[in-house]
A and B are shown apart, each in its own frame.
Chain A
Amino acid sequence: AQSVTQPDIHITVSEGASLELRCNYSYGATPYLFWYVQSPGQGLQLLLKYFSGDTLVQGIKGFEAEFKRSQSSFNLRKPSVHWSDAAEYFCAVAPTTDSWGKLQFGAGTQVVVTP
């Protein structure tokens, strides 16, 4: 069955430290890949996306993600977190065989930033 897995439910990181959030997918063919962030009371905001090409993708707010086909992974990274990065992060995929683009989301990773 097609699936998106975010192995870490909760991550605590110190302000200024680096952050990596993991995402693995199980699909017949490489899907389109996305990372969204959700802050309390806010809608989901797209951080970055991967459709094809360069496997290192730059996004907004200083985030980047690396697509690794061999590992079926699309991990999100930030070199130095800010207190405002505290939020829930969702990895999402859209099958390339589906032109309608509906998204399948992982369960999310809650990020807590400590002083």
Chain B
Amino acid sequence: DTGVSQDPRHKITKRGQNVTFRCDPISEHNRLYWYRQTLGQGPEFLTYFQNEAQLEKSRLLSDRFSAERPKGSFSTLEIQRTEQGDSAMYLCASSLPGVSEQYFGPGTRLTVT
């Protein structure tokens, strides 16, 4: 198993554009998490899936953000009408059921110009 993968690793976009990130979790993990990390801060929870069901969304996830996990495998995070404040590292993690270790991907660094 190659671990959690994320694509792209870097994305530069202009303000107002839409962007989509993809996360492929470890294959047997049914839980998938998205976090956002800004410079000098620890990651902040955005949303969580168990299989294909999105079970919780943070207040950080405004209406411009949407996440999906259509078949309970990979997940996508879309940001519409990007703003400069969206510039951050977007991290994906996966885990087995219960409170257990979360395995993180390398992240997608978004820069909004």
Which of A's residues lie within 8 Å of B, judged by CB? 4, 32, 34, 36, 41-46, 49, 51, 90, 92, 94, 96, 98-108
Contact = CB atoms under 8 A, between A and B. Distances in A.
Contact of B43 (A44, A51, A96): A44
Interface residues of B, number: 28
B42 A51 contact: no
Interface of B: 3-4, 31, 33, 35, 40-45, 48, 50, 55-56, 91, 93, 95, 98-107
B40 to A, nearest CB: 7
Given A32-B99, A100-B55, 8 more contacts: A43-B104, A94-B99, A100-B50, A101-B95, A101-B98, A101-B100, A102-B33, A102-B56
A41 B101 contact: no
A21 to B, nearest CB: 13
Nearest to B95: A101
B42 A90 contact: yes
B31 to A, nearest CB: 7
Given A100-B48, A101-B95, A101-B98, A43 B42 contact: no
10 smallest beta-carbon distances between A and B, as pairs: A105-B42, A43-B104, A44-B104, A101-B99, A43-B106, A102-B45, A105-B43, A90-B42, A108-B42, A43-B105
